[in-house]
Amino acid sequence: MENMMAVFLNGIAQLEYDRNKLLPDHQAAYLDKMDTRMDAGILVEGEMVRNPDQNQRTQFAAANLVSALKMEDESMAAAMCSYLAIRLPELKQVKIEDNDGEVTIELVFDEEYRKQVAVDFTGLH
């Protein structure tokens, strides 16, 4: 699982990205276009940043990932997940906590992702 990256929302896995699978050319081109558009400037914590560094790009992508998950925009969520996984190859998990609109995002580089397992409690007495 060492090449997996996962996105969690309130402790529940939302997306998985397997770096062992090649990204299709059109998706790789989309990520490159994202970087080109970001060069012109992005909003980070309400402030316009021209020529953002990798950390600012990461913050921007993570914030857009949260927004996409909240709006159930699967294609945008997948794009932001891919961006983070490809641009940050050591990233293992993105942990998002949303407590009544108070959102925190933690990028985890030192804890391998383990698939969650559903447990059936119906047969227990």
| Per-residue model confidence as pLDDT tens digits over 11-66 | 999 999 999 998 899 999 999 999 999 999 998 888 899 999 999 999 999 999 99
Task: Pick 110 or 119 by higher pLDDT.
Answer: 110
Task: Pick 97 or 118 by higher pLDDT.
Answer: 97
Q: 91 near 19, Cβ under 8 Å?
A: no
Evaluated on CA atoms 27, 39, 19, 105, the torsion sign reads negative
Those residues whose C-beta lies under 8 Å from the C-beta of residue 111, and which sit 6 or more positions away, are 92, 93
Q: Which two tokens stand for residue 52?
A: 């953002």
Q: What is the pLDDT of residues 52-101, one digit of tens each?
A: 999 999 999 999 999 999 999 999 999 999 999 999 999 999 999 999 88
**Nearest in space to 61 (alpha carbons), one of 81, 89, 46, 47:** 81
Tell me how far apart the alpha carbons of residues 9 and 96 are, in angstroms, rounded to a whole number: 5
Tell me how far apart the alpha carbons of residues 123 and 104 are, in angstroms, rounded to a whole number: 37
Can you give the pTM of this predicted structure? 0.85
